[in-house]
């Protein structure tokens, strides 16, 4: 199977997604439930476009040596600075709920290829226990990402993973803007620094806050004890007219680089995009929408093929910009 076969197969099995040549949020528009953005439906495209507008400066006056794309997060080695993004429910892509096998397939691929994985706490009761079972089956670095329900609910869900192999525990604060989470189990809502401090106090795992879009929010997350933040606007799904993540990343890097690990998502689609994100100061990247496409098209094998494609693109881009290790990547490699 090749990655092109994966895309052809995905077209036959996936719902609501047209498997576009570029996953740029245009065809899915405001389709929610589905993979789209909140109305008017341009948020995912705004994210994608911002990375396309950044150019890479070529520099081949550097000694030849193999490129190494590996690094470490919270002591765990990864072979590529990439986390597969959380999707709470695959019902957004299918008539039957395949969230549990999807998470299992992503974790299987992660364990084999050395990228990191995450999963969301969808509305279905079997999602979290299913993900827990998959985590114990596949030795991957996995981050559960919990929605901002009342703290008692989050603390109960966090406890499920405290003794597990989970690499960290994350709370996604921007889901306060998701209509289908409001009214669930007490409802998703905004969180204060104190709310997050309470959650942090209930785990010995590294604590991650997802959904940071301003320098001030990043500083608040650090004050709350975030060991990592994920710069994200939830793929354009929570607030119309939000800026792209590429736009806000430099301000956030200036504010909190060194105090917390900085992860970024939103419209990153290629190895060159990963290089751009790291050159802007991110430590790692997260990619979401292309993963269900890869899984619907080829299961765990499809996911591996997608990540190997990213790895070869990143390796090539680093080589041509003069970086041999991730720590060589710098802002001078970018042209605006």
Ligand X SMILES: Cc1cc2nc3c(=O)[nH]c(=O)nc-3n(C[C@H](O)[C@H](O)[C@H](O)COP(=O)(O)O)c2cc1C
Cite the beta strand spans of 43-84 per DSSP E.
Answer: 55-56, 71-73, 76-78, 82-84
Helix, strand or coil for residue 282?
coil
Specify the stretch interacting with ligand X by CB under 6 A; choose among 74-82, 193-201, 254-262, 286-294: 286-294
The only residue of 145, 275, 314, 320 in contact with ligand X, by rule CB under 6 A: 145
Please provide the distance, in angstroms rounded to a whole number, between the alpha carbons at the two ends of the chain: 38
The only residue of 41, 81, 120, 322 in contact with ligand X, by rule CB under 6 A: 120
Q: State the Cα–Cα distance between residues 324 and 218, nearest whole angstrom.
A: 30
Specify the stretch interacting with ligand X by CB under 6 A; choose among 69-77, 126-134, 195-203, 262-270: 262-270
- Cβ contact 306:3 at 8 Å: yes
Query: Which residues 172-191 are close enough to bind ligand X by CB under 6 A?
Result: 172
Q: State the Cα–Cα distance between residues 156 and 153, nearest whole angstrom.
A: 5
Q: Does 248 bind ligand X (CB under 6 A)?
A: no
The only residue of 43, 81, 86, 130 in contact with ligand X, by rule CB under 6 A: 86
Produce one character per residue of 245-262: b if its CB has 16 or more CB atoms within 10 Å, e if not: bbebbebbbebbeeebbb
The only residue of 35, 114, 130, 141 in contact with ligand X, by rule CB under 6 A: 35
Query: Which residues 215-244 are close enough to bind ligand X by CB under 6 A?
Result: 232, 234-235
Residues acting as catalytic residues: 234
Size of the site for ligand X (CB under 6 A): 22
Q: Does 153 bind ligand X (CB under 6 A)?
A: no
Considering the complex, state which of residue 145 and residue 318 has its C-beta at the smaller distance from ligand X. 145
Considering the complex, state which of residue 92 and residue 153 has its C-beta at the smaller distance from ligand X. 92
Helix, strand or coil for residue 173?
helix
Considering the complex, state which of residue 9 and residue 37 has its C-beta at the smaller distance from ligand X. 37
Helix, strand or coil for residue 169?
strand
Using alpha carbons, list the distances in angstroms from residue 296 to 19, 117, 258, 293, 302: 10, 17, 38, 5, 8
- Cβ contact 177:38 at 8 Å: yes
Query: Would you give the distance in Å from CA 289 to the centre of its chain?
Result: 9
Q: Does 38 bind ligand X (CB under 6 A)?
A: no
Helix, strand or coil for residue 171?
strand
The only residue of 9, 30, 92, 99 in contact with ligand X, by rule CB under 6 A: 92
Least spacing, CB of residue 41 vs ligand X, in Å? 12
Interface residue list for ligand X (CB under 6 A): 35, 44, 47, 85-88, 92, 120, 145, 172, 210, 232, 234-235, 265-268, 287-289
């Amino acid at each position: 199977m090749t990655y092109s076969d994966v895309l052809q197969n995905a077209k036959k099995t996936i719902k609501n997604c047209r498997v576009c040549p570029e996953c740029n949020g245009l065809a899915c528009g405001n389709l929610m439930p589905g993979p789209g953005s909140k109305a008017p439906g341009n948020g995912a495209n705004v994210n994608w476009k911002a990375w396309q507008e950044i150019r890479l400066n070529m520099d081949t006056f550097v000694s030849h040596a193999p490129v190494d794309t590996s690094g470490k997060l919270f002591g765990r080695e990864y072979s590529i600075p990439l986390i597969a993004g959380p999707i709470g429910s695959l019902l957004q892509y299918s008539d039957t709920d395949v969230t549990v096998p999807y998470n299992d397939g992503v974790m299987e691929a992660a364990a084999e290829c050395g990228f990191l994985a995450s999963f969301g706490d969808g509305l279905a009761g079997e999602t979290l226990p299913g993900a827990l079972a998959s985590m114990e089956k596949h030795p991957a670095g996995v981050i559960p990402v919990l929605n901002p329900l009342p703290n008692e609910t989050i603390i109960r869900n966090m406890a499920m993973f405290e003794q597990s192999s989970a690499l960290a525990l994350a709370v996604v604060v921007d889901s306060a803007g998701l209509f289908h989470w409001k009214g669930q189990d007490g409802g998703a809502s905004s969180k204060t620094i104190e709310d997050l401090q309470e959650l942090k106090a209930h785990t010995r795992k590294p604590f991650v806050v997802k959904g940071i879009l301003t320098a001030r929010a990043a500083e608040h997350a650090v004050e709350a004890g975030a060991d990592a933040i994920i710069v994200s606007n939830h793929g354009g799904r929570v607030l119309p007219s939000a800026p792209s993540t590429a736009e806000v990343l430099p301000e956030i890097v200036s504010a909190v680089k060194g105090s917390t690990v900085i992860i970024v998502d939103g419209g990153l689609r290629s190895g060159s995009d990963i290089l751009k994100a790291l050159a802007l100061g991110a430590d790692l990247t997260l990619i979401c929408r292309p993963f269900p496409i890869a899984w619907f098209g080829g299961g765990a094998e499809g996911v591996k093929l997608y990540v190997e494609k990213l790895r070869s693109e990143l390796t090539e881009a680093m080589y041509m910009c003069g970086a041999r290790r991730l720590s060589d990547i710098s802002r001078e490699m970018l042209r605006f």
